[in-house]
Structure 1
Amino acid sequence: MGCLLALLAGFFPRLGVLIVWIARPERVDAAFSSWIWPLLGIIFLPFTTLIYLLLWQAGGLHGFDWFWIGLAALLDIVHWGASATQRNQIPGRQPRPV
């Protein structure tokens, strides 16, 4: 059950960005100048991209919005670090030589 929860937690922001992109493509087009930036965001920083899309307004981001973007980026980085440490716990996996 824990693995399913972790899988859903890792997949949720990507699914959220895709739903916003399909439901409101004009919002994504207005927030990003090209289609490549949201695509890279889905791959590398999905939670940050989702928060950016949810907070973005016609004038861009202002004031305290940047705090939430920074917090989302920190969560993405923590997610990367947690997944990297979990790779060492796979049964039968040989540790990388130092």
Structure 2
Amino acid sequence: MPILLLLLGFFFPRVVIVLLYLFTGWWRAAFDSILWPVLGFLFMPLTVLWYGISETYFPGNVQTIGLVIAVLLDLGLIGGGARQRRR
């Protein structure tokens, strides 16, 4: 089941964010206000998903490395992005 959730989170991060918000309570522990999760949901869903998960489950440097990777994926610097699709 966790592997399925991981794959669903990679391909459909907004769906996983909504499901986790509705069915778990750990979003309240990761964020102080509702502003950052909403902005992350709109603009950088993988980053906000990783931050919410890592605040709960992973301490230390793993959190930072994963956050950098999530930001790069959201910005399209990993995986080709629009430039690759234009060719």
**TM-score, normalising length: structure 1:** 0.64
Hey, what does 1:42 align to over in structure 2?
41
What is the CA distance between 1:57 and its match in structure 2?
Answer: 2.5
Q: How many residues align?
A: 76
Could you list the structure 1 runs, at least 4 aligned residues long, displaced by more than 6 angstroms after superposition: none
Q: 1:1-98 maps to which residues of 2 (within 5 A)?
A: 9=11, 12-24=12-24, 26-57=25-56, 61-78=59-76, 82-83=81-82
SS in 1 for 2:61: coil
Identity rate, percent: 28
**TM-score, normalising length: structure 2:** 0.71
Relative to structure 1, the CA distance from residue 43 to residue 83 in structure 2 (aligned partners, 3 Å threshold; closer, same or farther) is farther
Which sections of structure 2, spanning at least 5 residues, go unmatched? 1-10
Rg comparison, structure with higher value? 1
**Structure 2 Cα separation of the partners of residues 83 and 22 of structure 1:** 33
Which sections of structure 1, spanning at least 5 residues, go unmatched? 1-8, 90-98
SS in 2 for 1:34: coil
Supply the RMSD in Å over aligned alpha carbons: 2.7
